[in-house]
Amino acid sequence: MSESTSPSRVVLKKVTPDVSAAMGSLHAAAVSAAQGAQLEPELLELVRIRASQINGCAFCLDMHTADARERGETERRLYTLNAWRETPFFTERERAALALTEAVTLVHDSRVPDAVYAEAAAVFDENQIAALIWAATVINAYNRIAVATRMAPKN
């Protein structure tokens, strides 16, 4: 069955509002932890965008690229984020956060290698690493929800 003829998907907020609310609370707690750890909101948007690119989540990509632009992110960096290793556009902290995000997102491939964790630990403190792991975990969960239910950006 093609995408255009697939049956409509469940609206989780409607069918399981208590679980959806719990997910919202988890997101809020992760944002609070990031704020408490003094992680830059712009960095968190890069984390969300990169995980969403890997997971193919159009809904989250649309939302978080818009949020990143509102925070001053450049088009050039957004366009090259999926090839961040091959560009000079990202700082050491951003590179460490992106590598950690990719490892968490693709945990089945590499189980978050020690080298990736050590790279993050060289530029982030323990609270910041914890907040980054939570941010990556939450966006991965949201990506799976949006992809599974075929959430799409609005025109």
Q: Is 0.85 surpassed by the pTM of this model? A: yes
Tens digits of per-residue pLDDT, 20-53?
999 999 999 999 999 999 999 999 999 999 999 9
Half-sphere exposure (CA, 13 Å, Cβ side) for 28? 6
Residue 38 carries which DSSP code? T
Which domains are present in the chain? Answer: 24-148 (1.20.1290.10)
Please give the structure tokens belonging to residue 155.
């025109």
How far CA 47 is from CA of 19, 59, 60, 70, in Å, comes to 24, 15, 12, 16
Ramachandran sector of residue 72 (left: φ over 0; alpha: ψ -120 to 50; beta: rest): left
Please give the structure tokens belonging to residue 132.
């980054």
Give the per-residue pLDDT at 1. 36
Give the per-residue pLDDT at 6. 61
Residue ranges in the chain modelled with pLDDT below 50: 1-3
Taking each helix axis from N to C end, the angle separating 41-55 and 58-70, rounded to the nearest 10 degrees, works out to 160
Of 46, 86, 52, 90, the residue nearest 69 (C-alpha)? 46
Please give the structure tokens belonging to residue 122.
């060289």
Give the per-residue pLDDT at 78. 98
Q: Do you know the residue count of the chain? A: 155
Give the per-residue pLDDT at 7. 77
Please give the structure tokens belonging to residue 138.
């939450």
Give the per-residue pLDDT at 2. 41
Give the per-residue pLDDT at 31. 98
